[in-house]
């Protein structure tokens, strides 16, 4: 007589395996321990709604955290190069659309990544259960677009009357740091980090955002000064067709 099958649903793993009631379960899908139940009866999903909320948080963090820092750097570099407000707004949108295509490709590769059945996959660690991929992808893309659009929108529509570049950058930096802090807190929450890790993670991402913004602004300004010194795009050095005909 074959041993009865027990069904276990825990930590994202759902399946059946052979065993005896009360016997220790093998390490499967991140679960290792004993459980009580009736042989052959399905075990209820453990913390199903909490697991789903955790996956929602993971998806938002995955799509928004890195893009929030990247978009801040793009706006800062364009402002440092002396671009107009309209140009910065358009440039931010163009970079965002290009980045979205790469992001979707990376998301697809992450889903199709091979992994060992007895190990936690990178997809499960970053997003959750693979069967919820449509939910993960939708939330991650929405988060990517939302946090990626904030810096160029804030720069374009803040202080419109004075059009003060410094004030605009301060507003963008302040809003971006708030978003980065919230996303870093969410990252710590889903990873069940200790209070000390909370502080370290938040400070790490905030300092990264500030550093990216400052370095991007300085690089943009240096490139602008270098190009102006070479006179590559100096309108005074160009000769119009009408002046050629006039001199002739």
DSSP 150-189: HHHHHHHHSSTTT--HHHHHHHHHHHHHHHHHHHHHHHHH
DSSP 78-89: HHHTT--HHHHH
The model's pTM: 0.74
Single residue among 13, 30, 46 that ends a domain in this structure: 46
Residue pair 63/143 in contact by the 8 Å Cβ criterion: yes
Domain that holds residue 28: 1-46
Please list, in sequence order, all residues whose beta carbon lies within 8 angstroms of the beta carbon of residue 195, skipping any fewer than 6 positions away.
none
Residue 246 located in a structural domain:
no
**Residue 176 sits in the same domain as residue 114:** yes
Instruction: For residue 58, give the nearest of 147, 150, 135, 149 by alpha carbon.
Output: 135
Q: How confident is the model at residue 42, as a pLDDT?
A: 43
Token duo for residue 40: 């052959």
Residue 238 located in a structural domain:
no
Using CA atoms, how far apart are residues 241 and 235, in angstroms rounded to an integer?
A: 14
Q: How confident is the model at residue 232, as a pLDDT?
A: 76
Secondary structure, 3-state, 179-214: HHHHHHHHHHHHCCCCHHHHHHHHHHHHHHHHHHHH
Count of domains forming the chain? 2
Digitized pLDDT (tens) for each residue of the chain, 248 residues in all: 444 444 444 444 444 444 444 444 444 444 444 344 434 444 444 457 888 999 999 999 999 999 999 999 999 999 999 999 999 999 899 999 999 999 999 999 998 887 766 567 889 889 999 899 999 999 999 999 999 999 999 999 999 888 899 999 999 999 999 999 999 999 999 988 888 899 999 999 999 999 999 999 999 999 999 888 887 765 444 444 344 444 54
**Residue 86 sits in the same domain as residue 103:** yes
């Amino acid at each position: 007589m074959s041993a009865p099958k027990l069904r276990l649903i825990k930590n994202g793993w759902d399946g059946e395996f052979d065993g005896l009631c009360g016997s220790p379960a093998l390490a499967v899908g991140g679960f290792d321990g004993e459980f009580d139940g009736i042989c052959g009866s399905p075990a209820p999903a453990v913390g199903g709604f909490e697991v789903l909320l955790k996956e929602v948080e993971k998806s938002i963090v995955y799509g928004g955290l890195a893009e929030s820092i990247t978009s801040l750097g793009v706006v800062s570099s364009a402002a440092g190069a002396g671009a107009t407000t309209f140009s910065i707004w358009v440039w931010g949108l163009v970079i965002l659309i290009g980045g979205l295509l790469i992001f979707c490709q990376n998301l697809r590769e992450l889903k199709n990544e091979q992994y060992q059945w007895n190990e936690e996959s990178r997809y499960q660690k970053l997003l959750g259960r693979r069967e919820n991929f449509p939910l993960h992808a939708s939330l991650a893309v929405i988060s990517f677009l939302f946090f990626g659009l904030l810096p160029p929108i804030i720069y374009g529509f803040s202080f419109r009357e004075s059009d003060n570049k410094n004030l605009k950058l301060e507003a963008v930096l302040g809003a971006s740091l708030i978003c980065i802090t919230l996303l870093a807190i969410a990252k710590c929450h889903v990873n069940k980090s200790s209070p000390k890790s909370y502080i370290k993670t938040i400070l790490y991402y905030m300092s990264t955002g500030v550093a990216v913004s400052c370095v991007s602004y300085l690089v943009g300004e240096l490139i602008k000064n270098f190009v102006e010194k070479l006179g590559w795009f100096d309108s005074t050095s160009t000769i119009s067709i009408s002046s050629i005909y006039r001199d002739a």
